[in-house]
A and B are shown apart, each in its own frame.
Chain A
């Protein structure tokens, strides 16, 4: 079975600070990895995804994530956060084997940016 751990439950940063949110997954095979964002009162939107190739993935709004296979990690980064990045961030994993259509989410990290 696949699972995802997000150890940071709530992160508070000042504007312009750098961000790194942790994500570790468990799965006995190759994976597809995702970061989703949920702004207050809104539904989830895809930030970025990794399927294969370059382990450094760039997404929307200046976010990036690095897949480190040896560490089973897919941490989300942003060099300088803005107040508008206040949201909840979810990491998700899907086994890439044929027939596996289940996407498993982590419990989320609430990010609060202080102006």
Chain B
């Protein structure tokens, strides 16, 4: 099992550009989520999904969109990148035992 994979590992964007961060899991988990990690702020939940076709907002959803068309994939879209979105993004998946498995992260810089 690869677990949770994320691409790309690093990305630099200019203000106003859009992009999609990819996340995939091969553990057949129903639940998936996206977090951003900023120094001194821990991890903050952006969006999460409890199954294919079902998503909901987390703590900091503004500026981000998600969709969940399959159990395996949960992409995160930045609609119009802003410097405030410079962060490390982690995707996670989990099962009914609520142990979240994290991906390796995407380091995003918006200039």
Contact = CB atoms under 8 A, between A and B. Distances in A.
Interface of A: 6, 9, 32, 34, 36, 42-46, 49, 51, 90, 94, 101-108
A95 B48 CA distance: 15
Contacts of A49: 98-99
Contacts of B103: 43
B38 to A, nearest CB: 10
Contacts of B40: 9, 107
Contact of B45 (A43, A44, A102): A102
The secondary structure that dominates the A interface is loop
Contacts of B42: 6, 90, 105-108
Main secondary structure of the interface of B (DSSP, over half): strand
Contact of B48 (A44, A101, A107): A101
Contact of A105 (B44, B48, B99, B105): B44
Interface of B: 31, 33, 35, 40-45, 48, 50, 56, 58-59, 90, 92, 98-100, 102-105
A94 B44 contact: no
A43 B58 CA distance: 20
B99 A43 contact: no
10 contacts: A6-B42, A9-B40, A43-B90, A43-B104, A44-B43, A90-B42, A94-B98, A101-B31, A102-B45, A103-B98
Nearest to B101: A46
B90 A44 contact: yes
Contacts of A51: 98
B59 to A, nearest CB: 8
Contacts of A46: 99-100
Contacts of B43: 44, 90, 105
A34 B99 CA distance: 9
Contacts of B56: 101
A102 B48 contact: yes
